[in-house]
Every structure is written in structure tokens, then in C-alpha cells.
Structure 1
């Protein structure tokens, strides 16, 4: 009997966007420095030459994952800083929304962009800082629409507070405790702004 040759099934075409989604989860969970190219190619089920052809470099893929995170999970500033909210109410809402997002997924806690900026690799850190700066500028614009004379000071306060929320979530602070801190922080700032007529 003639031995039948096994027919090789055609390899499924690689989906680059699906690869970005898988890499995002790995980078967010373990950090840029904690994920090697070998782990990425295994998770994406591609060979190294295909990996570099698709994304250019590990840092290039990291940038794609950060952009995806911002596009899909970025806080809706235009909605939060709506005209029907005072500045204090808007910032309180922002704090609560951020704390909820940062603590929602126990496997990927914190703000991916903020935690990504802690990378030891200079290229990865530069990418995360660049995208983070875009987010800071968007917050500055939203605040300036309500209080242009205090926009710099309040933006620094808000961004520093959000980074603290991210660090706390990443360190494992329970969601209900982080949300309580977010509400309290927002209420304290709102009282201060109300006292100055903002």
C-alpha cells in the first residue's frame, strides 16, 4: 500500500492587530523589560523574521500597544470635562474613572502608559513618555477651558495624582480602597476650587 503523504495545512495569515492585542497584555502585565522577543514570538505564534517584518522591533511593537491602549482605554476627557460640570466635579469624576480603570483588571493593573514610562530600556521609555506627554497636554487643555489662569498648577496636581493611583493599583491596592482615595482626593480639591470660585 502506498503511504499517503500528510498534507500540510496552510498556515493562517498573521493578523498584525491581533498580535498587538496579545503583546499589549504581556507588556502591561510584565513591563517592557520583562518580556523578551522569544516570549513575544511564542505568544504571537510567529518566527523572529516575521516578527521584525511586522513590527520593526520590540520597541516598535511596544509603541503600537501603547497607541492601542490610548485609543481603546483612554479616559474620555471631553465627556468628563463637560460644560454642565464644574471644574471640581470634572476632576473628581476623572479621578474616580481613572481609579476604576486602573484597578479593574487584576492581571493588568495601573495605567499602561504611566507604568511603561518606568522601562529601563531608553527607547521604550522615550516612547511611553512621548505618548504620556500627549495625554498631559490633553488634560491641560481640558482644565484650561475652565480655569486658564490655574491650568499649569492644576494639571501638575492632576497628573501627579493620577500617577499615584496607577502606582498604587500596580502595587496591588484593592479596588474599593483606591476608589475611596480617588473620591476623597476629588472632594478635597473640589472644596478648594469652590472656595476660590472655580
Structure 2
């Protein structure tokens, strides 16, 4: 008697949307939006294309949901760092060091939001820009509460430095070098406010 054990018995494994978002986040972060295909996503999520489209609508819609998740699990914790009970320069310097550490992950280097703002697909780029602008505004508001005259130039400096850190991490720069850059920029910020 021969038994075919190649097919699993019982109900098929249920699709877990939370696990799917986590898997998609890893893929988008590691490769960038443009380099990830629907085939890559369906393989990583363990679903077929019709199920993918039924669950998420489109690759760009999934990316938008992943960005929401990234804001909660992966982005720089701006609300925790930018606190009114700390000096402005010290807080901004910590944001840059936190960025260096977050961006240095060898499996998902750089900032998924910043990298997404350069996407070739308009819908994905616009989704990433919403998060990017929100982060810029949070930094600018934090500075403006105590130094309104310096808010634009300092926020621009911080955001431009973060973009440079993200790009350098994507190109393989080590954590040590990223952190050294962040600390140097942090010294300039602390002497400015």
C-alpha cells in the first residue's frame, strides 16, 4: 500500500495579514519599491496573484499599508526623541544618531520612506512623500516652539543629513562611519541652538 504524503492534510494555512505586512515590509525595505515585483510579493507571502489582489488591491496599495506599519515598527521614534524637556540641539543630534543606527541594518539599509520618495511609480512616491513631509513638519515644529527664527534652516539641515545617511547606508557605508557623520552633524546642531 502506498500513501501520498506530499499534500498536507486538513485545512490550508490561513492567510495572516499582519505576517504578510511584515514580510512585505522586509522585501520593500531591502530592495526598494521599484525592484519588488508582484511575483516577489506573492512568493514571499505564500499566496497566488488573485489572492494578492483580493487582499491588497495593488502593489502600491500594499506599499501604503507597509508604510503605515513602518511608521510604527522601523521609523525613527521622533515623538520619543523630540521632547520639550530636552535641549533642541541635543534632541536633534539624537535623531541623527538614531537614524544612523536604523539605516545601517544590512538586510534593509537606509530609510524606507526616504528611498520610497524616489520611486518611479507615482502612487508609491506620493505615499512615501506623505510620511516624509510629516516627519519634516514634526522636526520643524519641534524647533519652532523654542527657536522659530531657526526652524526652517535647522529642519532642512537635519532632513538633508538624514537623506544623506540613508543614501550612504544604501551604498554600504558602515554603522561606524554613519554614526561618525551623525555625531559631527549633531555637534554642529548643538552649537547652533
Q: Distance in 1 between matches of 2:16 and 2:33?
A: 22
- For structure 2, which runs of at least 5 residues remain unmatched after alignment? none
**Alpha-carbon displacement from aligned partner over 1:21-44 (angstroms, at most 9, x marks no partner):** 101111111111111111111111
**Which segments of 5 or more consecutive residues in structure 1 lack a partner in the other structure?**
194-198
The aligned residue for residue 115 of structure 2 is 115
* Cross-structure match for 1:82: 83
Alignment correspondent of 2:43: 42
What residue number does 1:58 align with?
Answer: 59
Question: Equivalent residue for 2:102?
Answer: 101
Q: Report how many aligned residue pairs link the two structures.
A: 192
Answer with 148-157 or 107-116: which moved more: 148-157
Listed one character per residue, the Cα deviations across residues 118-141 of structure 1 (whole Å, up to 9, x for unaligned) are 111111111111121111111122
By how many angstroms is 1:81 displaced?
A: 2.4
Distance 2:89 2:180 in 1: 17
Contact 2:113/2:131 (8 A) holds in 1: yes
The 3-state SS of whatever aligns with 2:73 is helix
Which TM-score applies when normalising by structure 2? 0.92
Q: In the superposition, relative to structure 1, how do residues 121 and 7 fare at CA in structure 2: closer, same or farther (>3 Å)?
A: closer
Structure 1 residue 172 and structure 2 residue 183: aligned? no
Deviates more, 1:68-77 or 1:155-164: 68-77
Separation in structure 1 between the aligned mates of residue 47 and residue 55 of structure 2, nearest angstrom = 10
TM superposition shift of 1:7? 7.7
User: What SS does the corresponding residue of 1:73 show, helix, strand or coil?
Assistant: coil
Report the TM-score, using the length of structure 1 for normalisation.
Answer: 0.89
Greater C-alpha Rg: 1
Residue of structure 2 in register with 1:144 after alignment:
144
Structural RMSD (CA): 2.0
- The question of 1:128 aligning with 2:111 is answered no
